[in-house]
Amino acid sequence: MQLDQATIAALAEHLENAELNATAVSKITDKHPDMDWEDAYAIQDAIRARKEQRGTPVSGLKMGLTSPAKIRQMGVKEPIYGFLNGLHAYRTGATIDTSSLIHPKVEAEIGFVLNRPLKGPGCHIGEVLAATDYVVATVEVIDSRYENFKFDLKSVIADNTSAARYVVGDQYRQVGGLDLRNLGIVLRKNGDVATVASGAAVLGHPAASVAMLANMLGARGKEIPAGVLIMTGGATEAIAVEKGDRIMVDYQWLGSVEMQFS
Ligand code: OOG
Ligand code: MG
Protein backbone atom coordinates (compact mmCIF):
# COMPACT_ATOMS: atom_id res chain seq x y z
CA MET A 1 0.00 0.00 0.00
CA GLN A 2 1.24 3.48 -0.87
CA LEU A 3 -1.65 5.56 0.49
CA ASP A 4 -2.51 6.09 4.15
CA GLN A 5 -5.94 5.33 5.61
CA ALA A 6 -7.01 8.99 5.65
CA THR A 7 -6.22 9.40 1.94
CA ILE A 8 -8.09 6.19 1.08
CA ALA A 9 -11.13 7.39 3.03
CA ALA A 10 -10.97 10.83 1.38
CA LEU A 11 -10.71 9.34 -2.12
CA ALA A 12 -13.64 6.99 -1.42
CA GLU A 13 -15.77 9.94 -0.31
CA HIS A 14 -14.67 11.98 -3.34
CA LEU A 15 -15.56 9.21 -5.82
CA GLU A 16 -18.80 8.29 -4.12
CA ASN A 17 -19.87 11.93 -4.11
CA ALA A 18 -19.13 12.11 -7.84
CA GLU A 19 -21.49 9.15 -8.26
CA LEU A 20 -24.22 10.51 -5.99
CA ASN A 21 -24.08 13.99 -7.57
CA ALA A 22 -23.61 12.65 -11.13
CA THR A 23 -20.64 14.92 -11.76
CA ALA A 24 -17.46 13.80 -13.49
CA VAL A 25 -14.09 14.20 -11.78
CA SER A 26 -10.51 13.85 -12.98
CA LYS A 27 -8.95 10.43 -12.59
CA ILE A 28 -7.43 9.95 -9.17
CA THR A 29 -4.05 8.68 -10.42
CA ASP A 30 -3.40 12.22 -11.74
CA LYS A 31 -2.91 13.33 -8.12
CA HIS A 32 -1.78 9.95 -6.76
CA PRO A 33 0.46 8.46 -9.46
CA ASP A 34 2.12 6.09 -6.98
CA MET A 35 -1.03 4.35 -5.77
CA ASP A 36 -0.94 0.56 -6.20
CA TRP A 37 -3.49 -2.23 -6.78
CA GLU A 38 -4.09 -2.71 -3.07
CA ASP A 39 -4.83 1.00 -2.68
CA ALA A 40 -7.25 0.85 -5.61
CA TYR A 41 -9.22 -2.08 -4.13
CA ALA A 42 -9.03 -0.50 -0.65
CA ILE A 43 -10.76 2.62 -2.02
CA GLN A 44 -13.42 0.44 -3.68
CA ASP A 45 -13.88 -1.43 -0.37
CA ALA A 46 -14.24 1.89 1.47
CA ILE A 47 -16.99 2.99 -0.97
CA ARG A 48 -18.72 -0.34 -0.37
CA ALA A 49 -18.45 0.13 3.41
CA ARG A 50 -19.90 3.67 3.15
CA LYS A 51 -22.91 2.30 1.27
CA GLU A 52 -23.40 -0.66 3.61
CA GLN A 53 -23.29 1.67 6.64
CA ARG A 54 -26.18 3.56 5.05
CA GLY A 55 -28.12 0.31 4.63
CA THR A 56 -27.51 -0.12 0.90
CA PRO A 57 -27.54 -3.84 0.08
CA VAL A 58 -24.69 -5.30 -1.94
CA SER A 59 -26.48 -7.64 -4.34
CA GLY A 60 -23.59 -9.23 -6.15
CA LEU A 61 -20.24 -8.97 -7.83
CA LYS A 62 -19.07 -8.03 -11.30
CA MET A 63 -16.08 -8.71 -13.45
CA GLY A 64 -14.97 -6.14 -16.00
CA LEU A 65 -12.66 -5.92 -19.01
CA THR A 66 -13.02 -9.63 -19.74
CA SER A 67 -13.63 -9.45 -23.51
CA PRO A 68 -11.56 -8.31 -26.51
CA ALA A 69 -14.30 -5.80 -27.37
CA LYS A 70 -14.06 -4.10 -23.98
CA ILE A 71 -10.26 -4.24 -23.83
CA ARG A 72 -10.03 -2.61 -27.25
CA GLN A 73 -12.60 0.04 -26.36
CA MET A 74 -11.14 1.04 -22.99
CA GLY A 75 -7.45 0.46 -23.77
CA VAL A 76 -6.86 -1.35 -20.47
CA LYS A 77 -5.92 -4.98 -20.48
CA GLU A 78 -6.50 -6.71 -17.19
CA PRO A 79 -9.76 -8.07 -15.77
CA ILE A 80 -10.98 -6.25 -12.68
CA TYR A 81 -13.84 -6.78 -10.24
CA GLY A 82 -16.37 -4.66 -8.41
CA PHE A 83 -19.63 -4.94 -6.49
CA LEU A 84 -23.29 -4.52 -7.44
CA ASN A 85 -25.57 -2.10 -5.62
CA GLY A 86 -28.91 -3.71 -4.82
CA LEU A 87 -30.70 -0.35 -5.00
CA HIS A 88 -29.67 -0.12 -8.65
CA ALA A 89 -31.06 -3.46 -9.82
CA TYR A 90 -33.81 -3.46 -12.45
CA ARG A 91 -35.88 -6.11 -14.17
CA THR A 92 -36.26 -6.39 -17.92
CA GLY A 93 -38.72 -3.82 -19.23
CA ALA A 94 -37.49 -1.15 -16.82
CA THR A 95 -37.26 2.57 -17.45
CA ILE A 96 -33.96 4.03 -16.27
CA ASP A 97 -33.67 7.70 -15.40
CA THR A 98 -30.62 9.29 -17.02
CA SER A 99 -30.75 12.48 -14.95
CA SER A 100 -28.83 10.77 -12.13
CA LEU A 101 -26.14 9.47 -14.50
CA ILE A 102 -23.17 11.23 -16.14
CA HIS A 103 -22.55 9.48 -19.49
CA PRO A 104 -24.18 6.03 -19.33
CA LYS A 105 -23.33 3.13 -21.62
CA VAL A 106 -24.87 -0.36 -21.84
CA GLU A 107 -23.11 -3.69 -22.26
CA ALA A 108 -24.48 -7.22 -22.56
CA GLU A 109 -23.32 -9.71 -19.95
CA ILE A 110 -24.05 -13.27 -18.88
CA GLY A 111 -24.96 -13.57 -15.20
CA PHE A 112 -24.30 -16.52 -12.89
CA VAL A 113 -25.78 -17.43 -9.52
CA LEU A 114 -24.00 -20.12 -7.49
CA ASN A 115 -25.50 -22.66 -5.09
CA ARG A 116 -22.33 -22.80 -3.00
CA PRO A 117 -19.47 -20.38 -2.34
CA LEU A 118 -16.35 -20.51 -4.50
CA LYS A 119 -12.88 -19.51 -3.42
CA GLY A 120 -9.55 -19.61 -5.22
CA PRO A 121 -6.77 -20.37 -5.78
CA GLY A 122 -7.19 -23.08 -8.36
CA CYS A 123 -10.82 -22.46 -9.22
CA HIS A 124 -11.60 -23.53 -12.81
CA ILE A 125 -14.48 -23.67 -15.27
CA GLY A 126 -15.55 -27.17 -14.26
CA GLU A 127 -15.84 -26.20 -10.61
CA VAL A 128 -17.85 -23.12 -11.54
CA LEU A 129 -20.27 -25.09 -13.72
CA ALA A 130 -20.72 -27.70 -10.98
CA ALA A 131 -21.53 -24.92 -8.48
CA THR A 132 -23.87 -22.94 -10.76
CA ASP A 133 -27.49 -22.72 -9.71
CA TYR A 134 -28.54 -20.86 -12.87
CA VAL A 135 -27.43 -18.43 -15.55
CA VAL A 136 -29.43 -15.37 -16.52
CA ALA A 137 -29.22 -12.64 -19.16
CA THR A 138 -28.09 -9.26 -17.82
CA VAL A 139 -27.28 -5.80 -19.13
CA GLU A 140 -24.97 -3.54 -17.19
CA VAL A 141 -25.36 0.23 -17.36
CA ILE A 142 -21.89 1.57 -16.64
CA ASP A 143 -21.18 5.22 -15.89
CA SER A 144 -17.59 6.12 -15.19
CA ARG A 145 -17.26 8.94 -12.72
CA TYR A 146 -14.22 10.11 -14.68
CA GLU A 147 -14.24 12.86 -17.27
CA ASN A 148 -14.73 11.65 -20.85
CA PHE A 149 -15.01 8.04 -19.61
CA LYS A 150 -11.18 7.93 -19.63
CA PHE A 151 -9.18 6.15 -16.95
CA ASP A 152 -6.41 3.73 -16.15
CA LEU A 153 -6.85 0.43 -14.34
CA LYS A 154 -6.20 1.70 -10.82
CA SER A 155 -8.53 4.65 -11.18
CA VAL A 156 -11.38 2.48 -12.50
CA ILE A 157 -10.96 -0.17 -9.79
CA ALA A 158 -11.24 2.56 -7.15
CA ASP A 159 -14.37 3.84 -8.93
CA ASN A 160 -16.02 0.44 -8.42
CA THR A 161 -15.38 -0.44 -12.07
CA SER A 162 -17.87 2.17 -13.36
CA ALA A 163 -20.79 0.18 -11.87
CA ALA A 164 -24.03 2.18 -12.02
CA ARG A 165 -27.21 0.19 -12.84
CA TYR A 166 -28.02 -3.32 -14.05
CA VAL A 167 -30.99 -5.01 -15.63
CA VAL A 168 -31.75 -8.71 -15.25
CA GLY A 169 -33.74 -10.98 -17.57
CA ASP A 170 -36.56 -13.24 -16.44
CA GLN A 171 -35.35 -16.65 -17.65
CA TYR A 172 -33.20 -18.64 -15.26
CA ARG A 173 -31.51 -21.57 -16.95
CA GLN A 174 -29.47 -24.44 -15.58
CA VAL A 175 -26.15 -24.83 -17.35
CA GLY A 176 -26.44 -28.56 -18.13
CA GLY A 177 -26.72 -28.91 -21.92
CA LEU A 178 -26.16 -25.18 -22.57
CA ASP A 179 -23.20 -24.32 -24.80
CA LEU A 180 -22.31 -21.04 -23.12
CA ARG A 181 -19.44 -20.36 -25.53
CA ASN A 182 -21.78 -20.37 -28.50
CA LEU A 183 -24.51 -18.37 -26.81
CA GLY A 184 -25.24 -15.63 -29.34
CA ILE A 185 -26.01 -12.08 -28.19
CA VAL A 186 -27.58 -9.34 -30.35
CA LEU A 187 -27.82 -5.82 -28.91
CA ARG A 188 -30.19 -3.40 -30.60
CA LYS A 189 -30.50 0.31 -29.95
CA ASN A 190 -33.70 1.95 -31.16
CA GLY A 191 -34.35 -1.05 -33.39
CA ASP A 192 -30.97 -1.16 -35.13
CA VAL A 193 -28.33 -3.79 -34.40
CA ALA A 194 -25.57 -1.95 -32.55
CA THR A 195 -23.29 -4.87 -31.70
CA VAL A 196 -23.22 -8.67 -31.49
CA ALA A 197 -21.17 -11.17 -29.49
CA SER A 198 -20.95 -14.76 -28.38
CA GLY A 199 -20.35 -16.15 -24.90
CA ALA A 200 -16.81 -17.13 -25.91
CA ALA A 201 -15.95 -13.43 -26.13
CA VAL A 202 -15.73 -13.50 -22.32
CA LEU A 203 -12.35 -15.10 -21.56
CA GLY A 204 -13.14 -17.99 -23.92
CA HIS A 205 -16.06 -19.12 -21.73
CA PRO A 206 -18.13 -16.97 -19.35
CA ALA A 207 -17.59 -19.47 -16.51
CA ALA A 208 -13.85 -18.69 -16.79
CA SER A 209 -14.71 -15.17 -15.64
CA VAL A 210 -16.40 -16.53 -12.50
CA ALA A 211 -13.38 -18.78 -11.87
CA MET A 212 -11.05 -15.81 -12.27
CA LEU A 213 -13.16 -13.82 -9.81
CA ALA A 214 -12.94 -16.66 -7.26
CA ASN A 215 -9.16 -16.71 -7.74
CA MET A 216 -8.79 -12.92 -7.49
CA LEU A 217 -10.91 -12.88 -4.32
CA GLY A 218 -9.07 -15.90 -2.91
CA ALA A 219 -5.79 -14.02 -3.28
CA ARG A 220 -7.27 -11.40 -0.94
CA GLY A 221 -8.70 -13.94 1.52
CA LYS A 222 -12.27 -13.55 0.23
CA GLU A 223 -14.74 -15.72 -1.66
CA ILE A 224 -17.78 -15.54 -3.94
CA PRO A 225 -20.84 -16.16 -1.78
CA ALA A 226 -23.66 -18.44 -2.92
CA GLY A 227 -26.91 -16.88 -4.11
CA VAL A 228 -25.68 -13.50 -5.34
CA LEU A 229 -25.59 -12.32 -8.95
CA ILE A 230 -22.20 -12.47 -10.64
CA MET A 231 -21.90 -10.46 -13.83
CA THR A 232 -19.12 -11.86 -16.02
CA GLY A 233 -18.23 -8.67 -17.94
CA GLY A 234 -19.39 -7.10 -21.16
CA ALA A 235 -19.25 -9.56 -24.06
CA THR A 236 -19.92 -6.64 -26.38
CA GLU A 237 -18.33 -3.22 -26.35
CA ALA A 238 -20.31 -0.66 -24.35
CA ILE A 239 -22.86 1.43 -26.29
CA ALA A 240 -23.59 5.00 -25.21
CA VAL A 241 -27.23 5.74 -24.36
CA GLU A 242 -29.21 8.89 -23.66
CA LYS A 243 -32.73 9.94 -22.77
CA GLY A 244 -35.24 8.46 -25.22
CA ASP A 245 -33.14 5.46 -26.24
CA ARG A 246 -34.57 1.94 -26.22
CA ILE A 247 -32.23 -1.04 -25.79
CA MET A 248 -33.19 -4.62 -26.52
CA VAL A 249 -30.70 -7.47 -26.15
CA ASP A 250 -31.53 -10.99 -27.32
CA TYR A 251 -29.63 -13.87 -25.75
CA GLN A 252 -29.79 -17.29 -27.31
CA TRP A 253 -31.55 -19.65 -24.82
CA LEU A 254 -31.85 -16.93 -22.16
CA GLY A 255 -34.56 -14.68 -23.58
CA SER A 256 -34.14 -10.94 -23.91
CA VAL A 257 -33.48 -7.93 -21.72
CA GLU A 258 -35.12 -4.63 -22.58
CA MET A 259 -34.99 -1.17 -21.13
CA GLN A 260 -35.65 2.41 -22.02
CA PHE A 261 -33.93 5.56 -20.85
CA SER A 262 -35.92 8.57 -19.70
C1 OOG B 1 -14.99 -0.43 -16.70
C2 OOG B 1 -15.98 -1.48 -16.31
C3 OOG B 1 -15.88 -2.69 -17.18
C4 OOG B 1 -17.12 -4.64 -18.13
O5 OOG B 1 -18.14 -5.33 -18.18
O6 OOG B 1 -16.15 -4.81 -18.88
C7 OOG B 1 -17.08 -3.54 -17.14
C8 OOG B 1 -15.50 0.39 -17.84
O9 OOG B 1 -15.45 -0.06 -18.98
O10 OOG B 1 -15.94 1.53 -17.59
O11 OOG B 1 -18.02 -3.41 -16.40
MG1 MG C 1 -19.74 -4.57 -17.13
Number of structural domains (the chain) is 1
pLDDT value, residue 76:
81
> How remote is the CA of residue 145 from the centroid of ligand 1, in Å?
12
Render pLDDT for 90-120 as a digit per residue (tens, 0 to 9): 999 999 999 999 999 999 999 999 999 999 9
Nearest Cα to Cα of residue 144 among 76, 59, 195: 76
Q: Is residue 210 part of a domain?
A: yes
Q: Count of residues for the chain?
A: 262
Atom 9 of ligand 1, residue of closest alpha carbon: 74
150 phi and psi angles, rounded to 5 deg: -115, 130
Render pLDDT for 157-191 as a digit per residue (tens, 0 to 9): 999 999 999 999 999 999 999 999 999 999 999 99
Q: Is residue 8 part of a domain?
A: no
Q: Is residue 183 part of a domain?
A: yes
Q: Is residue 170 part of a domain?
A: yes
71: CATH: 3.90.850.10
- C-alpha 187/C-alpha 194 separation (Å) is 6
Q: Is residue 42 part of a domain?
A: no
SS3 118: strand
Render pLDDT for 61-74 as a digit per residue (tens, 0 to 9): 999 999 999 988 88
Give the β-pairing of 58-64 and 229-231. parallel
Could you tell me the residue range of the domain that residue 106 belongs to?
57-261
Pocket lined around ligand 1, Cβ cut-off 6 Å: 62, 64-65, 70, 74, 107, 140, 142, 144, 156, 161-162, 233-234, 238
Strands (E) across the chain are located at 58-64, 80-85, 89-91, 94-96, 105-114, 132-142, 163-168, 184-189, 192-198, 229-231, 239-240, 246-251, 255-261
Atom 3 of ligand 1, residue of closest alpha carbon: 64
Atom 4 of ligand 1, residue of closest alpha carbon: 64
Q: Is residue 33 part of a domain?
A: no
Q: Is residue 198 part of a domain?
A: yes
Q: Is residue 204 part of a domain?
A: yes
The mean pLDDT of the chain is 97
